[in-house]
Amino acid sequence: MIEAVIFDWGGTLAPWVVMDHLAGWRAYAAVVHPDDPEVAERLAVALLAAEDGRWLLAKDEHRAFTLKHIVADATGALGEDVPYREDALAAFREHWTAASHTRPEVGPTLTALRDAGLALGVLSSTGWPGSWHEEFLRRDGVLDLFDACVWSSDLRWTKPHPEAFAAAMVAVGAGDPTRCVYVGDRLYDDIHGAKEAGMRAVFVPHSDIPPHQTVAVDVEPDAVIQSLSDLPEVIAGW
């Protein structure tokens, strides 16, 4: 019955890690203003506020965004040009690498699902370039196990918008949502979104998601698993 399994990334393929978001933007700002700590700190605070604003829009209106949007929003808030610089982005990305490591059970789980003849994909709400995520997955030896990866930074919408799920299904070659499974760690974005799109939804309940990022929703996942290694058996039962 099931023909495709699509995964969330952060909190699902990669475990939830509590990170200092301001520190990431401080790394960016220190590259832009290496000789002026006060100006760098003002920039970092503005960039964090811009990022928070974009995630609020994603939460309330499901609008996708990119890092360029964040930098542009900070430019507007500060009333001065904020450069979008690759060297500063590299410093920002280095900060976030600590939260990028794939769970060890992902490789064996994906292999088992592929051996069962299932198409595999990723759908993640993110402002980062998709290439960053894919380089992390390649580093950890699992990128080639996916048929397709879809990142909201390449879309108009984030989860739980149905068009985001539809884009992921198209990417993996699936035409019938009732034959697709989505696996994620957020009840609203992932479980509610997938079920509204007509998919089955599997909940991985281990992420310590801050209250301001959650939306109350009355939804029941089709399954709850404690480890991704439990997923092939669950799907085999369907």
pLDDT, tens only, 131-186: 999 999 999 999 999 999 999 999 999 999 999 999 999 999 999 999 999 999 99
Q: Please tell me the pTM assigned to this model.
A: 0.96
Residue 173: alpha-carbon gap to chain centroid: 21
**Where residue 211 falls among pLDDT bands split at 50, 70, 90?**
confident
Report, as an integer, the average pLDDT of 111-123.
98
Whether the CB-CB separation of 186 and 207 falls below 8 Å is answered with yes
Residue 11: alpha-carbon gap to chain centroid: 8
| Tokens 């904020």 sit on residue | 82
The yes-or-no verdict on residue 209 having pLDDT over 90 is no
pLDDT of residue 212: 84
Which 8-state DSSP code applies to residue 173? Answer: T
**Where residue 92 falls among pLDDT bands split at 50, 70, 90?**
very high
Residue type, 26: R
Rounded distance between C-alpha atoms, residue 160 and residue 62, angstroms? 7
Residue 145: alpha-carbon gap to chain centroid: 18
Rounded distance between C-alpha atoms, residue 81 and residue 94, angstroms? 24
